[in-house]
Structure 1
Amino acid sequence: MTSRRHAIAEDLRHRISSGSFKAGGRLPSETQLATHYAVSTATLRSALALLQGEGLVEKIHGKGNFVRRPLRRIMYTGGAAAPAFWTAFSAPLRMTATRTTNIEASSHLTTLLNVPPRSSLTEVLITIHEEKTPHGLAHIYVPQDLTLATPPSPGQAAVRPADLRPPLSKVQERVSARLPTHEEASTLRISPSLAVLSLSRVATDTTGRVIEAFLLVLPGDRADAVFPTRFATGERSSKA
């Protein structure tokens, strides 16, 4: 037997697909919907959570629930094709440095940047948007002695220019899927039950020192990550 929340979700899904609730429009309040369907607010919110997880509805804090406009998927291309993370996306996106803070390295960052405990780091928080739609959240970490005197702007690295430091030797990337934190779900306007792509990118210079690490979070309903393999001229390529 279909549960009440699934029945409500199906009815709302139909009303969205039929145009009764239009893309970008605000849904009736949760109290109004609960009254309409003769259920508790908790049951109504559970039904909305199903639609939020599907990407049909988004909840904006303090404003209500809205029918989500069709989202364009973007692609993050890793490997040699991405000398810097802001050049790695398949679509032009707006990068905004929303916060720059001096911090001490936690145990996690100590391992990630290969620095002594409590080392001084600069943390830059960057939000990534396509028009008004949030597409990602990035935390950049740089040893303070390598940090620019002024915060980085979109398209600019957080570290000093290449002529003031040893050349870059290696960039290591790691990607996984997980559930978002409360901060990530709120900033990206996604359901806490929607998986995100969590990507770490660590840049090392020729002396073996980590000069920059960034942790990027992309909503799983609008992003893909691709890591191409390139072969030297004359080598035979193979297809999986």
Structure 2
Amino acid sequence: MASRRHVIADDLRTQISTGRIKAGERLPSEAQLAARYAVSTPTLRNALAVLQGEGLVEKVHGRGNFVRHPIRRITYVGGGRTTDAQTAANAALRMTVRTTHLPARGDLTALLRVSASSPLTEFLCISYAEKAPHSLARIYVPRDLAPADGPGESALRKGVWARLSELHPPLAEVKERISARFPTPREAATLRISSALPVLAVIRVATDTTGRVVEAARLLLPGDRADALFTHHTTSGDRRTEG
């Protein structure tokens, strides 16, 4: 027998899918819903958490629970190269960029291979679909490589290879590590997602031909709206022949 939280989630999901509750509409208060379904508030919240995890409902602090607009999916392309599909998807997103100057500390020293207190510039980038946060990134560069007026939204959209292709010494490699995890409470609040929704966490480090780290980025992509794509182009030398 289905649990009460899943029965409630199923009923609300049906109302959303049939248009009885429309995208952008606020749900009744948690107290009203708990009374309607004759359950406790914790059980009702568990039901809402199911819908939040599916990306159907978002909880806005101080305002209540809202039906989400259809979530736009994007594809993160490994190596910083951008496909036409990714460009088209990203073009529909709005991005805000906040620039902060700060000294290297904690794990940033190891990530950028610099000594403590080395001057860095951080770009906090949050993309939005409509008015809802979509994904976020924290990009760090040595202060002397940071443009005086910031990278700008259009430049950030081009990806690391395009932005760093004119460096001297030139860019040599980009290493990426991707893991799946749950967001921290702060990340969940920033992106307005459930803390039970897995995210793709990408750590990207770009170095030039001298071995200097010229950019380190921490990207956070909620799993309900992002995929990761990696393509390996083989050559004849990669193929093994059997005798």
Q: CA deviation at 1:44?
A: 1.3
Q: CA deviation at 1:161?
A: 7.3
Summarize deviations over 1:28-48 as a string: whole Å, max 9, x none. 111211121222222211211
Query: In structure 2, what is the equivalent of residue 77 of structure 1?
Result: 77
AA partner of residue 179 (structure 1) = F
AA partner of residue 233 (structure 2) = R
What is the rounded CA distance, in whole Å, between the counterparts of 1:237 and 1:96 in structure 2?
Answer: 45
The alpha-carbon distance between structure 1 residues 230 and 90, as it changes in their structure 2 partners (threshold 3 A), is farther
What is the rounded CA distance, in whole Å, between the counterparts of 1:138 and 1:173 in structure 2?
Answer: 14
What is the rounded CA distance, in whole Å, between the counterparts of 1:58 and 1:237 in structure 2?
Answer: 49
Summarize deviations over 1:41-74 as a string: whole Å, max 9, x none. 2221121111111112111222211122222321
Query: In structure 2, what is the equivalent of residue 4 of structure 1?
Result: 4
AA partner of residue 39 (structure 2) = V
The alpha-carbon distance between structure 1 residues 190 and 237, as it changes in their structure 2 partners (threshold 3 A), is farther
Q: CA RMSD in A?
A: 2.7
Query: In structure 2, what is the equivalent of residue 202 of structure 1?
Result: 205
- Conserved in 2, the CA contact under 8 Å of 1:180 and 1:196? yes
Query: In structure 2, what is the equivalent of residue 125 of structure 1?
Result: 124
Query: In structure 1, what is the equivalent of residue 49 of structure 2?
Result: 49
Q: CA deviation at 1:82?
A: 4.4
Q: Once the two structures are aligned, what percentage of the paired residues are identical?
A: 59
TM-score, scaled to structure 2: 0.85
TM-score, scaled to structure 1: 0.86
1:1-240 mapped onto 2 (5 Å cutoff): 1-79=1-79, 81-82=81-82, 89=87, 91=89, 92=91, 93-97=93-97, 99-156=98-155, 165-232=168-235
Q: CA deviation at 1:186?
A: 1.6
The alpha-carbon distance between structure 1 residues 112 and 161, as it changes in their structure 2 partners (threshold 3 A), is closer
Moved over 4 A (4+): 87-90, 159-164, 234-238
Q: CA deviation at 1:236?
A: 6.9
- Conserved in 2, the CA contact under 8 Å of 1:29 and 1:64? yes
What is the rounded CA distance, in whole Å, between the counterparts of 1:237 and 1:133 in structure 2?
Answer: 47
What is the rounded CA distance, in whole Å, between the counterparts of 1:136 and 1:125 in structure 2?
Answer: 11
What is the rounded CA distance, in whole Å, between the counterparts of 2:21 and 2:166 in structure 1?
Answer: 56
The alpha-carbon distance between structure 1 residues 54 and 187, as it changes in their structure 2 partners (threshold 3 A), is same
SS for the counterpart of 1:154 is helix
The alpha-carbon distance between structure 1 residues 120 and 129, as it changes in their structure 2 partners (threshold 3 A), is same
Q: CA deviation at 1:110?
A: 1.3
- Conserved in 2, the CA contact under 8 Å of 1:76 and 1:88? yes
Q: CA deviation at 1:162?
A: 6.1
The alpha-carbon distance between structure 1 residues 7 and 130, as it changes in their structure 2 partners (threshold 3 A), is closer
Count, aligned residues: 233
AA partner of residue 4 (structure 1) = R
Unaligned runs of 5+ in 1: none
Q: CA deviation at 1:81?
A: 2.5
